[in-house]
Amino acid sequence: MTFLTVQTAPIEGQKPGTSGLRKKTQIFREPGYLENFVQSIFDATGGAASRTYVLGGDGRFFNSEAIGVIIRMAAANGAARLIVGQNGILSTPAASNLIRKHGTDGGIILSASHNPGGEAGDFGVKFNAANGGPAPEKITDAIHARTLAITTYRIAEDAAPGIGETGRFTIGDMQIDVVDPVADYETLMRELFDFDAIANLFAGGFRICFDAMHAVTGPYATRILESTLGAAEGSVINAVPSPDFGGGHPDPNPVWARELVAIMNGSDAPDFGAASDGDGDRNMIMGKGAFVSPSDSLALLTAYANLAPAYCGRLAGVARSMPTSRAVDLVAERLGIPCYETPTGWKFFGNLMDAGKVTLCGEESAGTGSSHIREKDGLWAVLLWLNILARDGRDVVQLRADHWRSFGRNYYSRHDYEEIPVDAADALMTALRGRLANLPGSKAAGMEVSTADDFAYRDPIDQSLTGAQGVRIAFTDGSRLVVRLSGTGTQGATLRVYLERYVGRGGDHEQDVQAALAPVIAAAEALTEITKHTGRSSADVIT
């Protein structure tokens, strides 16, 4: 076995974002680009010598080639062992579980999550720490610093062994365990949920449609929902992972999951609908003719989690990202448990879970999870919903309506403006931040501002301070507006505008969402001047 030390030089733009490094696939395929970043991960985390890592990805274009490169680099850097998903497949939740189960030194996950795939699409590399969660900023900052100083990378000259079959292999002195990507994850789900109750639900004629969106969750959902729990064959659609996600956009929302929406709005709709994303960590939930917003889903799961064995009487607390609606806050208050507000990014939840402060957590961007791992988990959310429905007896629409009657409704929507020139997006945010001090007491489109700030988070566990996480503007009627730039895009800037309006118990909870939010939408345009700064008169995606 020959190991090479290859001379290299820093490559611009290798700063990890909230979920690792994401770029266009062709950029990752440029000579030395992937190698530089992977070597920087090893170097910045104390070296790979004698260490064990989990490795896998969502099956998008370039996944197999990248895994071969990383195997060869791990061996050359002295790693003792790799745990690799068969055929290079591992959902992000499954990878987090393997890291925790085997006590590894971390994991490398190849995914750009819900971003499009294919040769012209996006690719990503993310390092997860030993707790199974996304690397905290101190690690990603160190990785970025190393990318700016790197001079060599190490790689095996020989080709990596095949990973199409499970078993144990070696490359040099490094052991490679190729594992069934579903088995350990399914075992964990059995420990959390009442599989007998869910199986009885299906046996009684309950029908579901799970749209895997040609992405990584297909094999997981097919085996667990159909083979193990007994959902009718064909309940999982678009179940075979595809390098370009079937030419679609694997983002589980009503805009991109059109096939599922059409089925659930049809005359013969199943009882329950769900979708997951590219790497399996996000989810969308539907009832017959009804979409459940991610914010409402988090609130409902928190309210009824006690119906699942793992969570009965065991909710330490709940956390949500700052832009997520405050629906779950109302549930936490009634349950008498803490509710934490964090910046966007699952790593912030990880600290709280490691300290035993929270059990459930979620983000408005279709991510929900619990302390069973340190990632959001799309199929877990679906199974918790099914466990609740099996034990409660009401359907999705009834459960949601009764919840609004009991707690009131937080009308909520996100407006995305994509691929904006970075300088225009920065100018908008700078101008808005410059006006914050003078906004309280002023009016915008007839709505009076009560408070305005730039969200900063003091982590209650390690006391680290994370600033500039998005502008929050609250109005005297209880409505809220949040404006921030997303860190998940690969081209230009994505401006996200979050709109929220609360209608209490006894109010009208059946309005069209955009109509209910019309006053907040008008105030948002007046305050942000999006059209002036970007030339955009409407959002590209509304969810």
State whether residue 209 is helix, strand or coil.
strand
Q: Which of 113, 276, 325, 365 is catalytic?
A: 113
Rounded to 5 degrees, what are φ and ψ at 107? -155, 155
257 with 265: CB under 8 angstroms? no
Helix (H, G, I), strand (E, B) or coil at 357: coil
365 tagged catalytic: no
Strands 541-542 and 152-156: unpaired
Alpha carbon distance 64, 86 (integer Å): 11
Distance between CA atoms of 347 and 134, rounded to whole angstroms? 5
Residue 500 and residue 479 in contact, taking contact as beta carbons nearer than 8 Å = yes
**Residue 482, both tokens:** 């949040």
| Contact between 449 and 443 (Cβ < 8 Å) | yes
By three-state DSSP, how is residue 389 classified?
Answer: helix
Among 230, 237, 251, 281, smallest CA distance to 116 is for 251
DSSP one-letter code for 231: P
* Tokens 């770029």, located at residue: 23
**What are the CA-CA distances from residue 402 to residues 100, 124, 377, 413 (Å)?**
38, 41, 26, 21
Structural tokens at position 388:
């609740």
Encoded tokens for 456: 């900063």
Please name the residue ranges forming H helices in 193-344.
195-203, 217-221, 258-264, 294-304, 327-335
Active site residues: 113
